[in-house]
A and B are shown apart, each in its own frame.
Chain A
């Protein structure tokens, strides 16, 4: 089926198989930040924004993205660099495999709720699994980023 998907601002037209998953479509088009971690729609590693909302790209048919807008971490470099530095400062991650998914969902959280409480952060990011850490470093990094961002705004 012929589809047109806007990926990080670039229109891509392609004849896609009916069962091609969005994650595989995106990876084939160079978005290698989008990763497959669990195969059970649970880990959050494959998170992308579909029309601005975070979704699991491993569970969306590429044909369902027809006519829609997809953003991956490759398209959010500015936000990613700014926020990622705070995660790195905490040495939060070991292998880093889960990082792009976490970054995407954290960015979705900041867009939806610029000043989340600790419980709100935990609840929003509960679907992003990390098997190296205990999430403490990521939480500290997020809180440090939010405090800095608040200072910049005021």
Chain B
């Protein structure tokens, strides 16, 4: 059972950062994953008083506070439009509305969980993270870093014209995904697929060979699926074996390509 000795609702990011330098401290996001642990937390740090629960839409990007809930992301009309509807698709299978009203973007991203639908989607969308001390870095880079004691303040999502599709497979509804993938292809950038729940953390595969650059067809979608599946490493756990995941990666990336190519409703 999780135990907490002190609870501090931070009054500034500096205070939160200072408190968080102790190994026995923990930032609490939605606390959904943390609650499942047997951790003994000396100081629980709550960022919910810092105004980080808003989605700010700017000309070229969305600035999303780390305390924004998954449900807020799911229901935001601007994000829906900018992500081609893929934002909602990546979120709606996560447990239930009551869970998504609590779970935060910051918790999902900072945790860099292997199973994360959110990490997969945001990586494909070319997001950046804003860290209190570490500044702005790409989510792709952040996801590969080990956890440290910095604070995730915001996630910046660029607005890039293009198409996106999110696909996942679950053994049963509302469970963790067996495999998750998001494919985005923009007017100003090459197509890329993020594949998560491998079961390791999501990784990004760019279309470096220009497989989709001449347009998406049944054939090029198939090829890019095979290309992405060959580039990633999959593993086995209680949900599925490595070989099955490899196969799923190929199929789901292909389906995502077909959807963004308008070939599958």
Q: Do A and B bind each other?
A: yes
- The binding surface of chain A is classed by DSSP as mixed
Which residue on B lies nearest to A128, using beta carbons?
B96
A77 within 8 A of B: no
Known A59-B32, A60-B102; judge A42-B95 contact (CB<8 A).
yes
B174 near A64 (CB under 8 angstroms)? no
**Complex CA–CA separation, A19 to B1 (angstroms):** 10
B21 within 8 A of A: no
Tell me the number of A-to-B contacts counted with CB atoms below 8 Å.
73
Interface size class of A (residues with CB under 8 A): 20 to 34
Which residue on A lies nearest to B3, using beta carbons?
A19
Known A55-B101, A56-B102, A60-B102; judge A127-B174 contact (CB<8 A).
yes
B48 near A59 (CB under 8 angstroms)? no
B237 to chain A, nearest CB (A): 17
A100 within 8 A of B: no
A41 near B95 (CB under 8 angstroms)? yes
A1 within 8 A of B: yes
Residues in A with CB closer than 8 Å to B32 are 41, 56, 59
B44 near A41 (CB under 8 angstroms)? no
B7 within 8 A of A: yes
Partner pick for B95 among A19, A63, A64, A127, CB 8 A cutoff: A127
A146 within 8 A of B: no
12 contacts between A and B (CB under 8 A): A18-B6, A41-B99, A47-B98, A59-B30, A61-B28, A61-B31, A105-B96, A125-B96, A126-B173, A126-B174, A127-B97, A127-B99
